[in-house]
Structure 1
Amino acid sequence: MIPLSDDNPTLRSPVITYLFLGAIGATWVLVQGAGFNPMVLAASVCNLGLVPGELTGLAPEGFPVQIGEGLACVVDREPINTLTPLTSMFLHGSWSHILGNCLFFWVFGNNVEDSMGRLRFILFYIVCGLAAAAAQVLVDPSSPIPMVGASGAISGVMGAYLLLYPRVRVNMLFIFIIFFRVIPLPAWLVLLYWFGLQVITGLPQLNSLSAEGGSGVAVWAHVGGFVAGLVLIKFFENPRLTRQRSGWRHRLHPDHP
């Protein structure tokens, strides 16, 4: 299932959502070479990606992790490692990775921003991203494998959306071999299904954590970010904006809950 859009217009232009998408895109092109140069891409992931074992000091210095043909990340003790929980949020590993994250962020982020206001949304997004990074580090503190991607922070946005707009319809694209169909589903069903899938995918990793183990996807960062969004939304939402949105939606769709 791929989200395409939702039946949830915004009161204001989602400026911060645009800026975050622009920052992610600019990082992909200017820092990571848009993935076209394997050496540049590998260097960005190794140097600016989050390595749990580097932050905790539990991964042996000099330990190599292969990330491509003839390419490896080596565990180090560079000072920049302390900044990687933040820098890793703007990095990605492939075109499919960045496009998928940006699509999810576009569908769910604009409405969450609209319910918080711009400054609160900036802080909320960053805090959720840091919480996601912390969750992955706690699950596997000695891992030498780099973690990159905005999905932890975006997971927090999705958790917030679940509590704010559980009954809004989300248009989901279903693909079965050569058949395509768009089906509107309630947000609670889409988001709980996605969250459950992350948990189910992550459970086996708890029993097989090692330098060689894992699926390569930081699903516990997704779980941590989503839970952070659920917990933090009531602290970050702007009640005045939420009331305005509720009244406006009711006028636009009087038959909808």
Structure 2
Amino acid sequence: MTEQPEREDEDGHRAPRRREPVFNLPRVIVAFIGICVAVHLVRLYVAGPAFERYVLLNFAFIPLRYTDGFAVDLPWLTSPLTYAFLHGGWAHLAVNMIWLAAFGSPLANRIGTGRFILFWIATVLGAVGLHFILHPYDAVPLVGASGAISGMMGAAARFAFRIDRRAGYAGFAGPVLPLGAVLRSRMAMTFLAVWMVVNLVVGLGIGAGPGAPSIAWEAHIGGFLVGFFFVKAFMPGKQDSGSRSS
């Protein structure tokens, strides 16, 4: 916990110190993290192998479901969204939740809860859409929130990672930058270059040991592209410095 030094008001009286919490996550971010953790706990400790197979078959995204004559049932309709709440292990879950807190919090603070949920849906669908286009006959279940989080990273680049903390919480500051301004931002371009290299290394499996799980890097790029090019569609009508709307 951090403390601000005492300040005097106009009459010379000392104002009380304002304490700021170390963790100040928006409620929508806490909710998403809570859902992902709860789902993982149920899969690992509450149910058995048969339930795990049921979860993957009905809630993970399986491209083959859409190209091999499967019936149009509820999982056919919902798995392009529900896959984002499943994770392959504790490490996968932990990394995604850390990045969700880091990039999702300033975005949620800026655009508000309702728009953030719509942004999550759009980036989740964008991620799974590109994965499907490139792997339409894949029978391997796709799980994880990485596509949506990559979309948040793409959105952050459109703000050139500018953060406004004046209101007591961190939110992206300023308007969504034109593409030309992003290209002129050293910070944004450095981040984009590093992000693309990391995804290329992951996609090619460089440095991965035998038996390492495959990474759906195409889904990362799909989500990133949606967040980068369409974040402006989720902005509130008034695009000032960083007003919160929820």
TM-score, normalised with respect to structure 2: 0.68
Q: 1:52 aligns with which of 42, 63, 70?
A: 63
Determine helix, strand or coil for the equivalent of 1:227. Answer: helix
Structure number with the higher strand fraction is 1
Unaligned runs of 5+ in 1: 1-8, 59-75, 169-184, 206-213, 246-257
Q: Is the 8 A contact 2:160 2:187 kept in 1?
A: no
Q: Could you tell me how far apart the structure 1 residues matched to 2:46 and 2:71 are?
A: 26
1:50–1:146 Cα contact (<8 Å) kept: yes
- What one-letter code is carried by the residue in structure 2 that aligns with 1:52? P
Gaps of 5+ in 2: 1-20, 164-185, 206-211
Given that 2:25 and 2:101 are in contact with CA atoms closer than 8 Å, whether structure 1 keeps it comes out as: no
Distance 1:191 1:38 in 2: 40
Partner residue in 2 for 1:156: 151
Give me the whole-angstrom Cα distance separating, in 1, the residues matched to 2:45 and 2:233: 37
Quote the sequence identity (%).
Answer: 30
Contact 2:202 2:217 in 1 (8 A): yes
Alignment match, 1:171: none
Contact 1:167 1:186 in 2 (8 A): no
Q: Does the 8 Å CA contact 1:199/1:220 hold for their aligned counterparts?
A: no
**Which whole-Å deviations, capped at 9, do the CAs of 1:7-49 have from their partners, x for residues lacking one?**
xx9xx8512111111111121123x135995554444223311
Q: Displacement of 1:191 after TM fit?
A: 4.8
Separation in 1, partners of 2:129, 2:33: 23
Which TM-score applies when normalising by structure 1? Answer: 0.65
Counterpart in the other structure of 1:195? 196
Give yes or no for contact 1:41–1:93 (8 Å, CA) kept in 2: no
CA contact (8 A) 1:27 1:91 kept: yes
SS at match of 1:97: helix
**Distance in 1 (alpha carbons) for counterparts of 2:55 and 2:189:** 36
What number of residue pairs does the alignment pair up? 193
Corresponding position of 1:68: none
* SS of residue in 2 equivalent to 1:223: helix
Q: Is the 8 A contact 1:33 1:40 kept in 2?
A: no
Q: Distance in 1 between matches of 2:128 and 2:195?
A: 19
